[in-house]
Amino acid sequence: MENHHQFGQLTLVAPLSESQRDILSDDAMAFVEQLVSRFASRVPELLAAREVRQQSIDAGQLPDFLPGTRDIREGNWTIQNIPSDLQDRRVEITGPVDRKMVINALNANVKVFMADFEDSFAPAWSAVIDGQRNLRDAVKRTISYTHPDTGKVYELKEDPAVLICRVRGLHLPEKHLFWNGQPIPGALLDFGLYFFHNHKQLLENGSGPYFYVPKLQAYQEAAWWSDVFSFAEDQAGLARGTIKATVLIETLPAVFEMNEILFSLKEHIVGLNCGRWDYIFSYIKTLRNHPDRILPDRQVVTMEKPFLNAYSRLLVRTCHRRGAFAMGGMAAFIPSKDAERNAWVLDKIQTDKALEANNGHDGTWVAHPGLADTARDVFDKCLGARSNQLDVTRDSDAPITAAELLAPCDGERTEDGMRHNIRVAVQYIEAWISGNGCVPIYGMMEDAATAEISRASIWQWMKHGKSLSNGQIVTKALFEQLLDEEMQVLEQEIGTERFSKGQFQEAAAMMARLTTSDELVTFLTLPGYEYLE
C-alpha cells in the first residue's frame, strides 16, 4: 500500500489496494487520462462563465431566453433517436451505488434505475471505486450480496430494470487524482470508468451506455458533454449516438436553454428531467440579490406553484416537439409502518404523479421501491396502451414567458419552517460528511438538494432582513439561537449516544458558516468534500 501511484500522467494520491486494481486497471486509467487531457482544461472556463452570468443577474439582469439562439428555438429539428429499451420509462428509481441498493433497485417494479454518483452519494474514494465495481457486476449480471448480520442473500431477478449512471456535476473535482498539478473533474472519472468497463457488455445485453447528466447551466456545457461522448464512441469504435444521455434541468439558467441543450446533444440525448428540488435551490441561488423573488417555507413550494408548474409544462412541450422524453421529478417520501401515515404518503404520491402525468410527462422518479407500485399505477392509467406520451405536444398552450418562470411564489415564512430547515440540514450534512449521501429524515429520503434549499433559504431571508409570520426578523442572532435550540432537540430525538458519536457539532458549524457567510456558497458539497477520505 503506497499513497502515490502513477497512471501515465495521472497521479493517484490515495492507497491503491489489490481489490481496486480491477477497476483502476492500467487500460481503464489510460482511457480516463485521454479524456482528461482533452477535456479537463475546458471545465474551469465553463465554470467561470457561470460566475460571469451570475454577476450580471446579481446586478439586476433577470434570466431570459437567449436572443442569439432564436433560430434553434424556432427551427424544425429533432433528436437522433431513442433506443428500444428506453422507450418506456414510466417509473424510475434513484439511489446511490452501494451493493445492496443496486440489487434492490434493479429488482424493483420500475423501468429504470438511475445509479447515482452525484446528489445522493458522498464521494469518498473507496465508495467511488466500490460503486463502479457494483455497477460492473450488475451489468455482467453476476452481482450478489450477503447481509453480514442476517445472512440474507440478495441477487438479481430475471429482467432487471434498465441501468442509467448519473455522474458528478462539473463543479465537483476528484481530489484523489491529479493531472498537471490539478485535481481532475469527478465527472470525467465517473463517466470514463463506467463507459470503459461496461459499454461492450451493455450492448451485448441489448442495452447501451446510458447516462444522467446533472447541474448543467448552459448549452455550452451540453456541447462539452457531446464532445466527450463522441470522443469515447470513436475510441471504442462505436457508431455516433451509441451513448445516450438524459439531462436534468435543475438550474434556473438551464430552463431558458432547453432547446439549445437538446440541440447541442442531439445525437446523444434522449430526454430532459425536471430535477425540481435542485431547481428550487437554483431559483434561490440565482435570484439571491432580488428581494422580490424570495421563496416561502420549502414545504409549501410544491409543483402546483405557478413558477414550477410553468417549468414542468415548458419542459414537456420543448422535449416532445424535439422527439425527446420529458421526465418528471422525485417523490422523496418513504413508506411508513403506521397505516394512517402510509395512506397519507400514498395519497401525496398519487396527487403529485397525477399532476405530472396530466402535464404530459413520460415518466417519474421515486426514491423507494415501496412507492413504485403507486407511481406506476398513475402512469399505467394515463398511458393506456402507449409506452410514453411523446404524442402530447401541448402545442395549443399559450407560450410560457420568462415572467412566468420567474414568478414570485406566495406562502408564509414561519419559525417552524426555519427550525425544520435547520434540523434537516444539520442531519443531512452530518450524514454526508460521515460518508452517506442518501438519508431518511422525518419520513423523506433526502439528498443534497434538500439541505441546499434549507440553508440557502435562511441565508436569503437573513440577507434581505425578511420577517417570519410571527413578526421576528431573520437575523444572524436569531439563526444562531434557533440553531442552538434545534441541536438540543436533535440530541433528544436521536439519543445522546448517537449524537455524541456522530459529527453533529462539525455539521452545525458547517451549517452556520454556510448560512451566515457574506457570499452564498455555490454548493455545500464542496466544503463538505474536505471531510471525506
Answer whether residue 321 shows pLDDT above 80. yes
Instruction: Tell me what pLDDT residue 4 has.
Output: 87
Least confident of 3-7, 308-312, 359-363: 3-7
Q: What is the pLDDT of residues 456-465, one digit of tens each?
A: 999 999 999 9
Instruction: Tell me what pLDDT residue 2 has.
Output: 55
Q: What is the pLDDT of residues 374-426, one digit of tens each?
A: 999 999 999 999 999 999 999 888 999 999 999 999 999 999 999 999 999 99
Annotated active-site residue in 166, 313, 322, 413: 166
Instruction: Tell me what pLDDT residue 192 has.
Output: 98
Residue range 256-266: average pLDDT? 98
HSE-CB for 229 with a 13 A CA cutoff: 26
Answer whether residue 319 shows pLDDT above 60. yes
Instruction: Tell me what pLDDT residue 3 has.
Output: 79
The Cα 420–Cα 411 span in angstroms is 16
Residue range 360-364: average pLDDT? 97
Residue range 315-322: average pLDDT? 97
Residue range 273-301: average pLDDT? 96
Across the chain, which distance is largest between two alpha carbons, in Å?
Answer: 65
| Number of residues that this document lists for the chain | 533
Q: Are 219 and 180 in contact (CB under 8 A)?
A: no
Q: Which long-range contacts (CB under 8 A, 24 or more apart) does 146-153 make?
A: 147/100
Residue 112 CB partners (closer than 8 Å, separation 6+): 86, 89, 91, 92, 93, 161, 162, 163, 164, 363
Residue range 245-259: average pLDDT? 98
Q: What percent of the chain has pLDDT over 90?
A: 97
Active site residue 347: no
Q: What is the pLDDT of residues 12-44, one digit of tens each?
A: 999 999 999 999 999 999 999 999 999 999 999
Measured at the CA of 516, the angle between CA 512 and CA 522, to 5 degrees, comes to 90
Q: Are 86 and 162 in contact (CB under 8 A)?
A: yes
φ, ψ of residue 354 to 5 degrees: the values are -65, -40
| SS3 call for 446 | strand
Answer whether residue 65 shows pLDDT above 70. yes
Residue range 240-245: average pLDDT? 98
pTM, to two decimals: 0.97
Classify residue 215 as left (phi > 0), alpha (psi -120 to 50) or beta. left
Q: What percent of the chain has pLDDT over 70?
A: 100
Residue range 129-137: average pLDDT? 98
Answer whether residue 1 shows pLDDT above 70. no
The Cα 228–Cα 230 span in angstroms is 6
Q: Are 102 and 143 in contact (CB under 8 A)?
A: yes
Instruction: Tell me what pLDDT residue 332 has.
Output: 86
Instruction: Tell me what pLDDT residue 131 has.
Output: 98
Q: What is the pLDDT of residues 484-508, one digit of tens each?
A: 999 999 999 999 999 999 999 999 9
DSSP secondary structure string, 459-487? HHHHHTT-B-TTS-B--HHHHHHHHHHHH
Residue range 263-283: average pLDDT? 97
Active site residue 292: no
DSSP secondary structure string, 54-82? HHHHHTTPPP---GGGHHHHHS----S--
Q: What is the pLDDT of residues 184-204, one digit of tens each?
A: 999 999 999 999 999 999 999
Annotated active-site residue in 85, 116, 362, 447: 447
In the DSSP assignment, the letter for residue 524 is: T
